[in-house]
Amino acid sequence: MAQTDHPETEDLADIRASVRALCANFPGEYWRKLDRERGYPGEFVTALTTAGFLGALIPEQYGGSGLSIVEAVAIMEEIQACGCNGAACHAQMYTMGTLLRHGSAEQKERWLPAIAAGDLRLQAFGVTEPTSGTDTLALRTTAERKGDHYVVNGQKIWTSRAEHSDLMLLLARTTPREDVMRRTAGLSVFVVDMRLAQGANINVNPIRTMMNHATTEVFFDDLRVPAENLIGEEGEGFRYILSGMNAERILIAAECIGDAKWFIEKATAYAKERTVFGRPIGQNQGVQFPIARAYAQMRAAELMVRDAATRYAAGRDCGPEANMAKLLAADASWAAAEMCLQTHGGFGFAEEFDIERKFRETRLYQVAPISTNLILAYLGEHVLGLPRSY
């Protein structure tokens, strides 16, 4: 296919080919059935884990593949380009990073090998709350130290995959906002073992959304979390979560590039084959040019994603690039989705073409994990030195 012609190392080409081979076992009808039933793609997630793809970023000493984000980008992009949905499991790749960077040696030994082996899933990431939204520092869930435990009370919303995860990475307030010296202090990160408390001190309610995303709201009622599950230092959790945001943005951006490639390939094939007025519709510039434009937009965004990933892998600062990658890639996938639907005319709306499903799925990335406006605000303030807007 024309859009995968960047020079890449042999390793990346091999990874892409392996991901494609795995994804071939999960065709459109598999995803359509799940979408209809709002089911979780458990077999797909298990297959990815067994093949070692979900443990790509876990170091070899903990049973992972010890690869860099460059390889992780290739994996996530390829999953989407094959028409599958990595949203079912992508969080494990970036939430695990918080544990890896800030967890103790004992914590890493306790959880990482089991995550790499697929015995434990760390798919749930509890940050967003109904009243605070994007303003994370305003979150209200508290974790109060009582002896060798913390007692957690509060509510999270949009905690995706909570019903299909053993562990949750939770951000909660350990010092009241009015008592902290720094605006960003007073929040802490915990690994919560949800298996022990489901139904008693944790209640998880699914939220039905326009796409199949296994997202939920989670209520904590006097949940006891052992103090040994605190990651790093108490009160420094916001900093730890922020340190994982660049990886999250780069990986989601890669998924958007994969989506865009899928839409472009579908539209191109259809425009060549569909004949109306005695000629292929793709012969009309009104049909051809939007496909060409979507392709150019995707390629430009792809360069930014690769730049961000290369910087991240080299340990260089990549905040602006990671944010721009997410912005441009989400725009590229959404533009490609719109173009693909239009190219297919009425058939674009038919379930069996998978386009309406992917269209709904890719729309999310304008809003989550960070909305477009907040990325623009970041660029305005931190890159261009404009006044802080919020």
Ligand X SMILES: Cc1cc2nc3c(=O)[nH]c(=O)nc-3n(C[C@H](O)[C@H](O)[C@H](O)COP(=O)(O)OP(=O)(O)OC[C@H]3O[C@@H](n4cnc5c(N)ncnc54)[C@H](O)[C@@H]3O)c2cc1C
Residues that bind ligand X (CB under 6 A): 125-128, 133-134, 158-160, 209, 213, 215, 364, 367-371, 373-374, 377, 389-390
**Beta carbon of residue 74, minimum distance to ligand X (angstroms, whole number):** 23
Beta carbon nearer to ligand X, 65 or 159: 159
Helix (H) / strand (E) element for 37: namely helix 28-37
**Beta carbon of residue 123, minimum distance to ligand X (angstroms, whole number):** 9
CB 190 within 8 Å of CB 143: yes
CB 79 within 8 Å of CB 86: yes
Beta carbon nearer to ligand X, 128 or 268: 128
Q: Which has the closest alpha carbon to 152: 160, 140, 161?
A: 140
Rounded Cα distance between 368 and 141, Å, is 21
Q: Which has the closest alpha carbon to 375: 309, 333, 329?
A: 329
Beta carbon nearer to ligand X, 239 or 274: 239
Rounded Cα distance between 216 and 190, Å, is 19
**Beta carbon of residue 313, minimum distance to ligand X (angstroms, whole number):** 25
Rounded Cα distance between 277 and 117, Å, is 56
| Residue nearest ligand X, Cβ-based | 133
**Beta carbon of residue 192, minimum distance to ligand X (angstroms, whole number):** 13
**Beta carbon of residue 388, minimum distance to ligand X (angstroms, whole number):** 9
Beta carbon nearer to ligand X, 13 or 207: 207
Provide the sign of the torsion angle of the four alpha carbons 285, 287, 290, 293, taken in this order: negative
CB 80 within 8 Å of CB 262: yes
Beta carbon nearer to ligand X, 263 or 378: 378
**Beta strands at 167-173 and 124-126: parallel, antiparallel or unpaired:** parallel
Beta carbon nearer to ligand X, 245 or 281: 245
**Beta carbon of residue 306, minimum distance to ligand X (angstroms, whole number):** 24
